[in-house]
Amino acid sequence: MLAHTAREKLEELKRRIREKEKLLVAFSGGVDSGFLLMVAHEVLGEKVRAVTIDSELFPRRELEHVKSFLKRMGIKHKIVQFFWQRNEDFVINPYNRCYFCKKKFSRILKEVAAEEGVTTIAEGVTLSDLAKHRPGIVASEEEGVWHPLAEVGITKNEVRQMAKEIGLPFWDKPPNPCLATRIAYGERITREKLERIEKAEDFLKDMGFRQVRVRLHRGGIARIEVGKEEIEVFSDAKMLEDICGKLKMLGFNYVTLDLEGYRSGSMDSSKTKNVV
């Protein structure tokens, strides 16, 4: 059951959403935006619209998950294409690349909202996100995007707790941000690199790994991160051979395993920054 404070936050969230009358929710298929969308749909019903921004940055598995969930929920949904390759500030992949991406992203959402007659756009940013390196949040706030979860003080852990309580089917789903987050800063973002990373992660997930990142570093180095409880699986020599063979076939020159395991934002450490 929800703790008293968490329940109060949930009720306050509903109250603030109710005040908006109509709402457009940016839905990525993750737990945070899924929770926000489900609460908004409960409060506003048909007055809620979900929008997913699609491109090569967005894994195909995630897109199918989005479509399946929204069809099951009966929520009105729109998929809009994002041509990120036209944004050179983003493509050169500086440390604040997410700022340039989210600027355009937010403007696309505003165009859709205007077409739908909706004045408020919401994203599933939590209070926990504000404590991290998130230049994209700055960009979306500059564009007037609303962050109700953070506004009422809901953390990521609380989102999962609340999402489970209200019946969100993927409340325990691992986070899976855009594929550009796997490419070391300063390394140019290309369709080929994104496709290589996505295929490598799909291969590892098909092998049974639940939490996976394949980070691409200069020189064609693949740095694999998996959950710490899954690292011991790599002691299997045959599995190592299969993984190395597959990733090299995809175009990686070297295949490494990060012994610290998966951790969000590992590319943001001082050793992996390459500001341009």
DSSP H helices, 74-190, are 88-91, 97-116, 135-142, 148-151, 156-166
pLDDT tens per residue, range 185-204: 999 999 999 999 999 999 99
Instruction: Give the per-residue pLDDT at 87.
Output: 95
Instruction: Give the per-residue pLDDT at 34.
Output: 98
Over 90: is that where the pLDDT of 274 sits?
Answer: no
What does DSSP assign to residue 183? B
pLDDT tens per residue, range 242-261: 999 999 999 999 999 999 99
Instruction: Give the per-residue pLDDT at 1.
Output: 61
Categorise residue 220: left if φ over 0, alpha if ψ from -120 to 50, beta otherwise: left
Instruction: Give the per-residue pLDDT at 270.
Output: 43
Cα–Cα distance measured from residue 176 to residue 211, given in angstroms and rounded to the nearest whole number: 9
Is residue 110 a contact partner of residue 143, using CB atoms and an 8 Å limit?
yes
pLDDT tens per residue, range 18-42: 999 899 999 999 999 999 999 999 9
Count other Cβ atoms within 10 Å, centred on residue 198: 21
What does DSSP assign to residue 174? P
Over 90: is that where the pLDDT of 3 sits?
Answer: no
Cα–Cα distance measured from residue 140 to residue 205, given in angstroms and rounded to the nearest whole number: 31
Cα–Cα distance measured from residue 228 to residue 218, given in angstroms and rounded to the nearest whole number: 25
Averaged pLDDT, 43-60: 97
Domains and CATH numbers, the chain: 4-166 (3.40.50.620), 179-268 (3.30.300)
Instruction: Give the per-residue pLDDT at 215.
Output: 98
Burial of 223 (0-12, 13-18, 19+ CB in 10 A): buried
- Spatial neighbors of 138 by CB under 8 A, at least 6 apart, are 99
Averaged pLDDT, 99-104: 97
Over 90: is that where the pLDDT of 2 sits?
Answer: no
Averaged pLDDT, 122-130: 96
Cα–Cα distance measured from residue 101 to residue 99, given in angstroms and rounded to the nearest whole number: 6
pLDDT tens per residue, range 158-171: 999 999 999 999 99
Is residue 181 a contact partner of residue 267, using CB atoms and an 8 Å limit?
yes
Residue 126 is which amino acid?
A: T
Q: Which pTM does this prediction carry?
A: 0.92
With vertex at residue 182, the alpha carbon angle to CA 70 and CA 276, rounded to the nearest 5 degrees, is: 125
Q: In the numeric block, which tokens belong to residue 25?
A: 């929710």
